[in-house]
Amino acid sequence: MNNKLIEREIFGQITAHLKEQEVTVITGARQTGKTTLLFQLKDWLFAQKKVKQSQLKFFNLDLISDLTGIRNQDDFIKFLKEELGREEFLYVFIDEIQRLENSGKFLKGIYDVRLPVKFVVSGSSSLEIKSKISESLAGRKRLFHLWPFSFSEYLSCYEPSLRGLLKKDGISTLNRRKIMDYFFDFVVFGGYPRVVLSKDKKEKIAVLNEIYSSYVEKDIVGFMKVKNPFAFSKLVALLGDQIGNLVNLHELTATLGLNFRTIENYLFALESTFVVNLARPYFTNARKELTKMPKVYFVDTGMRNLSVKYFANFSDSRDRGKLLENFVSSSIVKLWDGVVNYWRTKDRNEVDFILRNYYGEIVPVEVKAIELGKPEINSGLKAFIEKYKPKKAFIVNLALEEKIKIRDTEIYFILPYNVPISLAKQQAR
């Protein structure tokens, strides 16, 4: 397995943007493969666009020599002009741009000189990117977010031929079983590239520990200035145990002995750095939606399992229902261009996810960690369909692939690995 050979799903979008004058900004959590992606883009420019070596400048600001070399804006502009004396156009790649003080203003100043230079930059801390770059480069950049591997990308590491089968209907029982076995492993250990590429379970857990330690040290203690990393980590563990459940901030303050505002700040940090995501309740009244308790999920299920120190096989796991629901949540967050809610009523009817697009359409998604043999619809989904009459609904389960109709609502029973494909089709409508 070789990470450099795996083309990320976002790759085509980024290469299409390379022809634009705007700064291409690639952000994401630590260890999601941003540096590798930059090298893949570099190789693509050489192979597909016949860009010469002398036209591409690469700076890694984790290296002191590179950081020192471009720190002075005036001198860097002078350097670019000197290089442009020999070439008509330059591509400048800057990895870990947040290392540069006032990086947003630095790039804005160079961009506004209007040199024939295309900037492609990456940053590991989303908070730092937002605070240092987004405001200064308003109207001058496009942001791309690189997530941990999707399940489709994960399959490319092991059996690339299976990746092509994901979009096909009615695949053989043997290949479906093989895909599901890979899926169960993926849900337990997650999609961080170094974790996926690790040889065995022990090494995977060690890499996850290293990634989390680096995250706490650099993002949380370093940038967010969290003064109590032990309490922060304890909060992460509590949230890991509560995935799919409502988050009661008052209970967390009592359990951790922290004040309410501190808990809010910690949650904001976790959500802003793409460790957790929060689903809020579905109401037609926006004020109610903002004031009711959210449900919590982790962006990566491997990181969630690290937080609770539990890596049992999916089939044996006490958390299989939680993990499957978390996988669906993660798929939605990565793909859905709209609002994600859950639905729960006083008489205990509920639906796991309610997706809303910007045109007012709603799509309920229910998750069942069981092998359904025939179509079954629980009372919560039935109640939601009766009340809101959506055109489509999805029921994720471990065995059944079928479509039925209740009145005007088409209900699709799908396997977990088909969730991203189903969402993409729904998004394209």
How does pLDDT run across 78-112, given as a tens digit for each residue?
999 999 999 999 999 999 998 888 888 999 999 99
In this predicted structure, the answer to whether residue 222 has a pLDDT above a threshold of 90 is no
Calpha distance 114→34 (Å, rounded): 27
- pLDDT digits 0-9 by tens, 27-40: 888 899 999 999 99
With a cut of 70, say whether residue 315 has pLDDT above it.
Answer: yes
Question: For residues 126 and 133, what is the distance between their CA atoms, to the nearest angstrom?
Answer: 10
Residue with the bigger pLDDT between 348 and 174: it is: 174
Whether residue 52 is predicted with pLDDT greater than 90 in this model: the reply is: yes
Compute the average pLDDT of residues 72-80.
97
User: What pLDDT, on a 0 to 100 scale, did the predictor assign at position 133?
Assistant: 72
> Worst-scoring range by mean pLDDT, 86-90, 192-196, 291-295?
291-295
Q: Which of the four pLDDT bands, split at 50, 70 and 90, describes residue 219? A: confident
CA dist., res. 394 & res. 396, Å (int)? 6
Asked if residues 25 and 138 have their Cβ atoms less than 8 Å apart, the reply is no
DSSP letter for 258, please. -
d(CA 154, CA 197): 9
Which helix (DSSP H) or strand (DSSP E) does residue 3 occupy?
none
Residue with tokens 């859905």: 336
SS3 292: coil
Please say if the pLDDT value at position 1 is more than 70: no
Q: How confident is the model at residue 139 (pLDDT cuts 50, 70, 90)?
A: confident
Read off the pLDDT band of 286 (50, 70, 90). Answer: low
C-beta separation of 368 from 397 below 8 A: yes
4 pLDDT exceeds 80?
A: no
Q: How confident is the model at residue 291 (pLDDT cuts 50, 70, 90)?
A: low
Confidence band, pLDDT 50/70/90 cuts, at residue 58: very high
Quote the pLDDT of residue 285: 66
Q: Is-contact 423 335, C-beta < 8 A? A: yes
pLDDT at residue number 127: 60
Rounded distance, CA 142 to CA 23, Å?
Answer: 6
- Measured distance CA(116)–CA(286) in Å, rounded: 46
d(CA 26, CA 126): 10
Q: Which long-range contacts (CB under 8 A, 24 or more apart) does 406-413 make?
A: 406/377, 406/382, 409/385, 411/375, 411/377, 413/372, 413/375
**Considering only CA atoms, which of 170, 165, 169, 41 is closest in space to residue 94?**
41
Residue owning tokens 């250990």: 189
Nearest CA-CA partner of 141 in 118, 169, 167? 118
Question: How far apart (Å, rounded) are the C-alpha atoms in residues 197 and 256?
Answer: 36
For residue 352, give the 3-state DSSP assignment.
strand
CA-based nearest residue to 31, from 208, 222, 276:
208
Segments of the chain assigned to CATH 3.40.50.300: 3-146
Which residue in this structure is represented by tokens 């009145």?
407
Assigned CATH topology for domain 3-146: Rossmann fold (3.40.50)
Q: For 353-396, write each residue's pLDDT tens digit.
A: 999 988 889 999 999 999 999 999 999 999 999 999 999 999 99
* Res 229 pLDDT > 80: yes
Token pair belonging to 305? 């399992």
